Each structure stands twice: as structure tokens, then as C-alpha cells.
Amino acid sequence: MNIQSKTMTLHNADTVPYLTYNSLSEIKIIRHAFTTRLGGLSEGEYTSMNMAFNRGDDPDRVTENYRRFCKSAGFDFNTLVASAQDHHTFVRAVTKDDIGVGITRPRDMESVDALITNERGVTLVTYYADCTPLFFVDTKNKAVGLAHAGWRGTVGRIGEKVIKKMTELYGTDPKDVFAAVGPAISVCCYEVDEPCAAQFLALDDLNTEKFVFPKGGGKYMVDLLETNRQILHAAGVPEENISVSDLCTCCNSDLLWSHRATKGHRGTMSAFMCLE
């Protein structure tokens, strides 16, 4: 399978595929990857690479999916720490003491939509199926973060909150941050109603004309990726340090899980990142 992308590369397409950002791959202090829906053991509506334990899939198959993916993409299965997402904006700092949480150990917290760490030997894991992944790398202080930005997390400025928490805990200067946005459902496919659009339009310090587009009849097209890009730039990340995916999950639902394309009958993808 091939993809048409100027920002991302598909690896191991014939076995256990995964995506990486071209820009982040140039940063030697990290390893990162994004799963696809292919290359796993799950069956039925989860076929085949489902990373979620909470959607009714066989947990043994999900665990084996993690093992297969980690082997393919070069991660240590024994270093994973997972989020506990519910479309809010809480940012959790994790350490080696948290390894296994959400994967081989039970969740010990709820409502965790972003993870950060400055420790080697800790791999962050977050979940997606149309919502926007956000990757953060502080190249100076050697810290990383992942965030899940659904529409609620986006208008709640979760990207900005990750930057602030990294600044507070690790001394991060936003100017030293490299960030990546997506893959997610893109403006071509993301239609919302008026109450939802109103929350994006309320971000009036941003250029809302670039991410909210009226369709008529109380419907709007919203660009989640552009919204998050502007939020990161407003938080101090240099424009040239932000990469935005050109892969729409809905348009590429043969490769990527899309909640809208499958009408909710789906598995889940994950973003992974660690310090090398």
C-alpha cells in the first residue's frame, strides 16, 4: 500500500505498517510513530490493528497487537504508559514508576488526554480514530509530550496546556519545541452543527476564518488541524517548527481508523513517542 503524503512516511507497508513524520524523524533524541488499522490480530469490526482495550475487543489480541507494533516500529513493549482519554485537557507527567499503566497494569487515573515525560525508558501512548494527535519535542531540555485533541480538547486549548506544563516542570521554552499535528479527520470531511462551530468561533484571538467555514443550513466545516496549529503558534511555538499532516483519516479509512467513516464500528489507533 502506498500513501500520497508530503509530510509523513509509511513504513513496513506489507507487514505491520506505521507512519512517521518526516520532520520529527530528523530529531535524533526521539523515536515516534503512529499506527494504522493494518497488521494486527483483531477480528470483526476491529480488523486488524486495534490498540484499544475498552471497545470490546479480545484483550489478548490487543496485547499482541502492541507487541507486534512495538517490534515493527522499534519500541520496547515494557516501557509503555497509556493515557485515559475523555475529551478534556488534563496533562499528566509520567515517569518510569508509571510504566505499564493502561497496558499491562490497570489505569490509575481517569481523564488524562495528554502525557509528558523527560525520562528515557518511558514510551508515551495516546489514542485516536479521527481526533487530532499532537506531538511535542523540547529539543533543548530533552522532553516529549503527546496530546489527544478532539473538538472539545481543541477548543479547550490542550496544545497550549501541554506547552505550559512542560514549561512548568521541565523548563521548556516554546521556541525550542518542535510539534506535529495529525493525522486526523480533515476539513474536507469534518462537518459540525452550529453549537459546536460557535465554540471554535469563540477562539477570537485566532484567525477563525481559516478554520470555520459556513455551509448553510446551520452546518459548518471545521479544520481541527489548522485550529491546533494556530493554538500552538499562539503558545509560542515557531511556525517553522510545526508540521501538519496532509492525511485525512476519513478519506484514508482503508489505512486509518475513522469513527465517521465506520459509523463507530471500529478499532483505535495510537501515537507513540519516547526519548532515545
Give the tens place of pLDDT for each residue, 190-219. 999 999 999 999 999 999 999 999 999 999
| H-only helix segments in 149-193 | 151-155, 158-170
Distance between CA atoms of 104 and 110, rounded to whole angstroms? 16
Give percent of the chain with pLDDT exceeding 90: 99
Ramachandran angles phi, psi of 25, nearest 5°: -65, -20
For the chain, list the strands marked E by DSSP. Answer: 8-11, 18-21, 30-35, 80-82, 91-93, 114-117, 123-128, 132-138, 143-149, 177-181, 191-193, 212-216, 219-222, 242-244, 269-275
Please list, residue by residue across 115-139, b when 16 or more beta carbons sit within 10 angstroms of its beta carbon and e when fewer do.
bbbbbeebbbbbbbbbbbbbbbbbb
Tell me the pairing of strands 177-181 and 242-244.
Answer: parallel
pLDDT value for 227: 98
Give the tens place of pLDDT for each residue, 111-165. 999 999 999 999 999 999 999 999 999 999 999 999 999 999 999 999 999 999 9
pLDDT value for 124: 98
**CATH pick for 8-183+224-275 out of 1.10.10.10, 3.40.50.720, 3.40.50.2300, 3.60.140.10:** 3.60.140.10
Average pLDDT in the 242-260 region? Answer: 98
Distance between CA atoms of 129 and 192, rounded to whole angstroms? 17
Give the tens place of pLDDT for each residue, 37-74. 999 999 999 999 999 999 999 999 999 999 999 999 99
Question: How many C-beta atoms lie closer than 10 Å to residue 110's C-beta?
Answer: 10
Q: Are 137 and 117 in contact (CB under 8 A)?
A: no
